[in-house]
Amino acid sequence: MPQRKCTRTKENVKHVSKRIVLPIKMERYKEIVGKPEAYRDCVDEIKSRYPELFPSEIENGYRLHDKRTSIKMPEIQLRRIKVSGKDKDQVYTIVPSGVMPYMTGYTDDVEKPLFLRKFNVPFWALSYVFGKNDAYWYRLASHFGSYDIVQTSVKDTKKLPDDWLSDEKHTYFNGEKAYIAITVAEDCVLGASISLTADTEGLTEAYGPFQQEILHLKPDYEPKTVNTDGWAATQNAWLSLFPSITIVECFLHAFIKIRNRCQKRLQHVYEEICQQVWDIYHADDVDAFRKRVAVFQQWAQKNVSGPALEAIEKLCAKTDRFLLAFEYPNAYRTSNMIDRHMEPMDRWLFSSRYFHGHLSSAERLVRAWALLHNFWPYCHRAKVREHFQSPAHKLNDFVYHDNWLHNLLISSSIAGAT
């Protein structure tokens, strides 16, 4: 049997959306879609409340263009509007949030199956319980990978974070090592792209879509800091994409290296090492930080030896890098937040047995997971659920709809088109 040939070229899987998604109930939509005046009044009212869901050129005026009926769902009529653009008129399709893209079903019918993907329920299990077939659920989930992650997740440029976290998740593509470049801030995954190498060139390309999306949303945007581990290629990639950014190294990674080298060999001083390391981390100012590092280094030289001492010396040598955090009080000093998101990603990758197929398919799946992850609801027992429905709700401080999938679809309105 001939071996399947899978392309290793990563095509641009993101597409500009010409769909304007309205936060409107299906009953109301069906009532007004055949009445031009009532339909226009409804569109104008929603536009006044949520202008970010519409192209900016709509302020120049628009007109009802035509009306279409899908073969898949003949009971749903969709209207298109023509907006006066700078160079030429643009046509947009207006849809209610109750209908899935490409008329693949009603949102309420597929919301629960897609929610179960949060727990890595396989597609064949979704087919067994909810009907359809494996390919249907796969396409439904992976389609979200074509959306603009940043513009879909961040609905107001004022909410764009200044401080970021970044790391690479190790994975496999057709049995070979690969890496997922992840960018996180404010509890949301706002960048995720696969790279076949972990060098500067590969990671620069992998972090590139995040840069492009964020500058598309706000062309003059300049992030202040990014927290990374000590991997030079990651830092070089960020400096290449955002030359003015400040690299803040993760203090937790420095401690983990010490822990791994002394937890078994030097149990008699391990607790003392932990205490001194975290006393350094909790120093109130630069002077206290430097003094505690000096005291810790002198103590370690007398009481620790071998690989553990080498790890401690490395931590002390990076004092100036750690001190940058005092210049940026809001910067992330450890990778805790990004680790919380990489753990469910790790479970998803393992349950999927990683990536088998074309690189563009892997890229689409990675992006889809990130976007769904931002909108999947928190566990109802989680304390954060008392105030926020999902990470996207926490970032934006509002939702368009109480249902997470409706909220995601509405948020994806014209994503990448403005």
Q: What is the pLDDT along the chain (418 residues), one digit of tens a residue?
A: 455 678 888 777 887 788 999 999 999 999 999 999 999 999 999 999 999 999 988 988 899 999 988 889 999 999 999 998 777 888 999 999 999 999 999 999 999 999 999 999 999 999 999 999 999 999 999 999 999 999 999 999 999 999 999 999 999 999 999 999 999 999 999 999 999 999 999 999 999 999 999 999 999 999 999 999 989 999 999 999 999 999 999 999 888 888 888 766 677 788 899 999 999 999 999 999 999 999 999 999 998 888 889 999 999 999 999 999 999 999 999 999 999 999 999 999 999 999 999 999 999 999 999 999 999 999 999 999 999 999 999 999 999 999 999 999 999 999 865 5
Cβ(143)–Cβ(101) below 8 Å: yes
pLDDT of residue 1: 45
78 residue type, one letter: L
Neighbours of 370 (CB within 10 A): 25
Which amino acid is located at 230 in the chain?
Answer: G
Last residue of a domain, one of 261, 296, 327: 327
Token pair belonging to 67: 């009306």
Those residues whose C-beta lies under 8 Å from the C-beta of residue 188, and which sit 6 or more positions away, are 153, 374, 391, 392, 394, 395
Query: Same domain, yes or no, for 356 and 222?
Result: yes
- Confirm whether 131 is domain-assigned: no
Which of 46, 79, 96 is the endpoint of a domain?
96
Query: Is residue 127 included in any domain, yes or no?
Result: no
CB 246 within 8 A of CB 329: no
Residue 390 is assigned to a structural domain of this protein = no
Same domain for 301 and 348: no
In a domain, 290, yes or no: yes
Q: Is 415 within a domain?
A: no
d(CA 319, CA 300): 16
Q: Are strands 77-83 and 163-173 parallel, antiparallel or unpaired?
A: unpaired
The span from the CA of 55 to the CA of 83, in Å, is: 8
What lies within 8 Å, CB to CB, of 305 at 6+ separation is: none
Q: Helices 404-411 and 107-116, interaxial angle, to 10°? A: 100
Beta strands in 97-209 (DSSP E): 163-173, 176-185, 188-195
Domain that holds residue 88: 24-96
Amino acid at 311: A
Residue 417 lies in a domain: no
Where would I find the H helices in 304-403?
Answer: 306-317, 319-327, 336-351, 359-375, 391-396
Q: Among candidates 250, 236, 226, 241, which has minimal Cα distance to 163?
A: 226
Tokens of 87: 């160079």
Q: Give yes or no: residues 233 and 299 share one domain.
A: no
The first and second tokens of residue 10, run together, are 């990563």
Choose among 271, 282, 211, 274: nearest CA to 244. Answer: 211
Residue 123 is assigned to a structural domain of this protein: no
In a domain, 116, yes or no: no
Q: What are phi and psi of 169, to 5 degrees?
A: -95, 120
Residues 221 and 335 in one domain: yes
Whose CA is closest to 369, among 127, 12, 118, 201? 118
pLDDT of 12: 78
Whether residues 189 and 233 share a domain: the answer is yes
Whether 198 and 243 map to the same domain: the answer is yes
Question: How many domains does the chain divide into?
Answer: 3
Pick from 71, 62, 9, 64: nearest CA to 39:
64
Among residues 96, 115, 144, the one where a domain terminates is 96
**Do 53 and 151 form a contact (C-beta atoms < 8 A)?**
no
The model's pTM: 0.92
* CATH code for position 202: 3.30.420.10
30 with 66, same domain?
Answer: yes
Residues 233 and 355 in one domain: yes
Shared domain check, 239 and 164: yes
367, 348, 359, 352: which is closest to 415 by C-alpha?
367
Nearest Cα residue to 373 out of 398, 351, 399, 404: 404
Give the per-residue pLDDT at 308.
87
Q: Are 201 and 272 in the same domain? A: no
CB contact burial 314-341 (16+ within 10 A = b; e otherwise): ebbeebeebbebeeeeebbbbbebbeeb
Q: Do residues 371 and 147 lie in contact, with contact meaning Cβ atoms separated by under 8 Å?
A: yes
Return the axis-axis angle of helices 286-303 and 319-327, rounded to nearest 10°: 160
Encoding tokens for residue 318? 């990076």
| Same domain assignment for residues 243 and 274 | no
The residues that bridge with 304 in the sheet, in sequence order, are: none
State the chain's maximal CA–CA distance in angstroms: 84
* CA 190 to chain CA centroid, nearest Å: 3
Report the C-alpha gap between 123 and 140 in whole angstroms: 10
> Same domain for 232 and 308?
no
